Amino acid sequence: MSIFAGIKSVYKLYKSGASVAEMAYYNRNFLWPFIIIACRKFGDLDDDQDKAKVRSELSKLYAQGVFDNPPTRRARKYKRRIENFISQI
């Protein structure tokens, strides 16, 4: 789950000290491209235990606000995909 640890740590770093412009740059050029790549990976999971782990990690990140304010139409699409994945039982 190092992908999620990386997203979480960088998000905290930028959230704590970044200006609005820096956060927008980070959001568009780092966070969402990385999230999109991660989404492609978890979409290929077959094992229910792996899916449960990913769902748990995404839920934690979602609760922290990591997926707030997607900067593009494509990012908004992936946010919905994450929300749908999290809500599956």
The yes-or-no verdict on residue 1 having pLDDT over 70 is no
**CA angle at residue 65 from 36 to 6, to 5 degrees?**
55
* 33-85 tens-digit pLDDT: 888 888 888 778 888 898 898 899 999 999 989 999 899 999 999 999 999 99
- The CA distance from 3 to 69, in Å, is 20
Q: What domain range includes position 47?
A: 2-87
Q: Is the pLDDT higher at 43 or at 20?
A: 20
Q: Which of 63, 74, 64, 87 is nearest to 35 (CA)?
A: 74
Q: Which of 41, 43, 39, 9 is nearest to 26 (CA)?
A: 9
**Confidence (pLDDT) at 20:** 84
Question: How many structural domains does the chain have?
Answer: 1
